[in-house]
């Protein structure tokens, strides 16, 4: 086999498509490889340029291939698309990646380290939790408003919602109070309140209320199930417990 200069890899969950090209742009091989076979196959090749689309798993495989001595090029998918010659499939995508990587002016993105990906996960996770908290707060506020109960605030504290659900004078149906407690249970860990904050709204088998949810909030800060002030509010950022 002639010396391989560029290998294009179309990544997937289980089966990878690889396309090898020589120095004269001649196609040397097209292969489908199982996930477990990929690194073993690449280790048999002499160090060369390995090009992949910059997708979710590309950084992991890029680090593994770099350890084998290969030169990694991660190309944004939008720059690969113009090089797909025929209908879109794995083989054509891998060939297009080789074509794109062979262009001297092609833009690439740097390979991220594991630590960089971990920090990115931190920010994305916080963004997701903040979005979920906002959705839950807005939904609960809207449901209560449908019954004539207007609750202000709620992004940093659940007390206004707990008081509204506990207030027997506002005429809320029992089902609304019970479903509202489900919202509070979902919101509690996102607002720095222990699980079970909304549980007291639920009724026992005899139909009697078990207590007030607002009573679970202690004035000196939020406490965990052991009574320790160890849960930080989400608006202060994701922090390790102290």
Looking at residue 189, what is its pLDDT? 82
Flag whether pLDDT at 150 surpasses 70. yes
Looking at residue 214, what is its pLDDT? 43
Per the listing, tokens 């090009």 go with 51
Q: Is the pTM of this model over 0.85?
A: no
Flag whether pLDDT at 164 surpasses 90. yes
Burial pattern 96-134, b for ≥16 Cβ within 10 A else e, equals: bbbbbbbeeebeeeebbeeeeeeeeeeeeeeeeeeeebe
Planar angle of CA 135, 141, 144, nearest 5 degrees: 140
Secondary structure (DSSP) of 87-150: S--HHHHHHHHHHHHT-TT---BPPPPHHHHHHHHHHHHHHHHHHHHHHHHHHHHHHHHTTT--
Choice among 86-90, 163-167, 219-223 with the minimum mean pLDDT: 219-223
Looking at residue 176, what is its pLDDT? 96
Give yes or no for a contact between 171 and 147, defined as CB atoms under 8 angstroms apart: yes
Please, what are the domains in the chain?
4-101 (3.30.420.40), 114-236 (no CATH)
Flag whether pLDDT at 77 surpasses 60. yes
CA 237 to chain centroid, in Å, comes to 17
Query: Which phi and psi (to 5°) does residue 69 adopt?
Result: 100, 5
Give yes or no for a contact between 28 and 20, defined as CB atoms under 8 angstroms apart: yes
Question: Averaged over 206-225, what is the pLDDT?
Answer: 41
Looking at residue 207, what is its pLDDT? 42
Q: 211 exposed, middle or buried (CB, 10 Å; 0-12, 13-18, 19+)?
A: exposed
Per the listing, tokens 């090089």 go with 83
pLDDT band at residue 155, thresholds of 50, 70 and 90? Answer: low
Give yes or no for a contact between 50 and 58, defined as CB atoms under 8 angstroms apart: no
Q: What is the CA radius of gyration of the chain?
A: 28
Residue 44: closest CA among 96, 1, 95, 97 = 1
């Amino acid at each position: 086999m002639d010396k391989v200069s560029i290998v294009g890899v179309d990544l997937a969950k289980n089966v990878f498509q690889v396309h090898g090209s020589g120095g004269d742009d001649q196609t040397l091989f097209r292969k489908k490889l199982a996930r477990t076979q990929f690194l073993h196959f690449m280790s048999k090749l002499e160090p060369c340029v390995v090009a992949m689309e910059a997708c979710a798993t590309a950084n992991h495989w890029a680090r593994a291939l770099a350890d084998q001595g290969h030169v990694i090029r991660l190309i944004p998918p939008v720059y690969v698309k113009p090089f797909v010659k025929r209908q879109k499939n794995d083989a054509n995508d891998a060939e297009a990646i080789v074509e794109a990587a062979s262009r001297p002016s092609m833009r690439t993105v740097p390979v991220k380290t594991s630590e960089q990906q971990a920090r990115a996960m931190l920010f994305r996770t916080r963004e997701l939790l903040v979005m979920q908290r906002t959705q839950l707060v807005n939904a609960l506020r809207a449901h209560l408003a449908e019954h004539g109960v207007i609750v202000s605030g709620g992004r940093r504290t659940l007390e206004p919602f707990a008081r509204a659900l506990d207030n027997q004078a506002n005429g809320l149906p029992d089902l609304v109070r019970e479903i509202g407690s489900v919202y509070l249970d979902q919101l509690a860990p996102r607002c720095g309140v222990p699980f079970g904050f909304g549980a007291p709204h639920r009724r026992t088998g005899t139909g009697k209320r078990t207590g007030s949810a607002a009573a679970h909030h202690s004035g000196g800060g939020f406490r965990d199930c052991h009574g320790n002030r160890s849960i930080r509010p989400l608006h202060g950022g994701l922090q390790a417990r102290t």
